[in-house]
Amino acid sequence: MATTLISGGTVVSATGASAADVLIDGETIRAVLQPGSELLGVDLARSVDRVVDATGKYVIPGGIDAHTHMQMPFGGTEASDTFETGTRAAAWGGTTTIVDFVVQTVGQRVEDTLAAWHEKAAGNCAIDYGFHQIIGEVNDASLTALRGLEAEGVTSYKLFMAYPGVFYSDDAQILRAMQVGAETGLMTMMHAENGPAIDVLVQQLVAEGKTDPYFHGIARAWQMEEEATHRAIMLAHLTGAPLYVVHVSAKQAVAQLAAARDKGQNVFGETCPQYLYLSLEDQLGASSDEWGAFEGAKYVCSTPLRSKHEHHQDELWTALGTNDLQMVSTDHCPFCMKDQKELGRGDFSKIPNGIGGVEHRMNLLYQGVVDGHLTLERWVEITATTPARMFGMYGKKGVIQPGADADIVVYDPAGRTKLGIDETHHMNMDYSAWEGFEIAGHVDTVLSRGRVIVDADAYLGRAGDGAYVRRGLSQYLR
């Protein structure tokens, strides 16, 4: 097995940063050493197969994006990134593990859907991957299947309070599923929006001729997110189930999570880069663009972007700093404008919901360090260490320590990264929601289980490099 020494860098963890060298033996980290140290009297730099010079750079755990949707069927089409293209793009951006969502809908067996996602991913992923399970039909059979998920290495499942007729679960169904979550220790993940009420607002807006993408965000008002978040928290409190609310975008929903956590409840929340940087006003479109007002479809996602005038973005950054929100994932669910987003021309409710971001999360969050929103340590914590702990991978993932998988990123704080379709864009999309962004930092080298897969702006990985990660229960449960 090949040996690698990463020398001269500053190793950053969730608890501190210090100058150190990292010795890798095969797929795992063997030692973290004082700079220039010998091991058993051996000059490491002369004895290893490869030396990675990290002088002046940060050495951090590979990023973990715990919320992606590769090849996901939605709205009459399918997410444009395959497991191959999506994980390759993730690798370019310093993410070395994803946790994707298996989709069960009405009439399907949970076991069959999990097998189908294994078939999609196996042999195609550039980086390691795990699965969450979407339960789109809560019934006796799916509840029985939930009890068997831990044995498959799947320790979290997702319910939807939105999308009636597609994924929606009513309160009685949520209660029954959460009872199983409490019994088994599985993490209940929740899309928290009041779907039936949203559908009424959608119908009213379309009837009034308000069909442009901007009205997607108007229909999915922040009150719909706050109310559903509160309801999910109450049901979790009643049942004793751990609760993780996905893609939080409204500051009022953050307040609900913070209040529950202050009372000692096992409640957690994530946000996404789009909610930190983009706004509802982006969905107004630009009349000078060939797409006109429909350009706003590029930014249609759910939960929606919020108005910059209501200061949701500032409150989300604050919540990340105070740990009222614990993580940043991407909800990577990409669709092209041509033949996909344009399905919603004339009716915003038919626009496939999703933004591509798996490639840019680590960079966008580092910009938060540069801008003073986060410390270096918090950057590592919310992008790697907490996802590993939250979803049962810590010790092997999310940390640079002996025995851990050698998933490592060498990050240059003096570098620059331009985002855009003609810049550093490797996602399978015909546009970028991040067009024109420039980040004060650069992913230089990426190692996945000891293999260098990105180096000096060259991709060295391949489909099939990634392995399935069998996850344990969350390490955050009290």
pLDDT tens profile 84-113: 999 999 999 999 999 999 999 999 999 999
Cα–Cα distance between 410 and 321 in angstroms, integer?
Answer: 24
Domains, the chain, in order of start with CATH, read: 63-387 (3.20.20.140)
Q: Binning pLDDT at 50, 70 and 90, where does residue 289 land?
A: low
pLDDT tens profile 192-222: 999 999 999 999 999 999 999 999 999 999 9
pLDDT tens profile 340-368: 999 999 999 999 999 999 999 999 999 99
Cα–Cα distance between 409 and 12 in angstroms, integer?
Answer: 10
Q: Which two tokens stand for residue 303?
A: 């939960």
pLDDT tens profile 36-83: 876 656 678 788 999 999 999 999 999 999 999 999 998 789 999 999
Pairing of strands 17-19, 10-12: antiparallel
Sign of the CA dihedral with 104 first, then 110, 113, and 114 last? positive
Question: Average pLDDT of 382-411?
Answer: 98
Cα–Cα distance between 192 and 243 in angstroms, integer?
Answer: 11
Entry pTM:
0.96
pLDDT for the residue numbered 290? 58
Residue for token pair 């344009």 = 342
pLDDT for the residue numbered 151? 98
Please give the share of the chain, as a percent, with pLDDT higher than 90.
Answer: 92
pLDDT for the residue numbered 288? 47
Please say if the pLDDT value at position 22 is more than 60.
yes
Cα–Cα distance between 73 and 39 in angstroms, integer?
Answer: 52
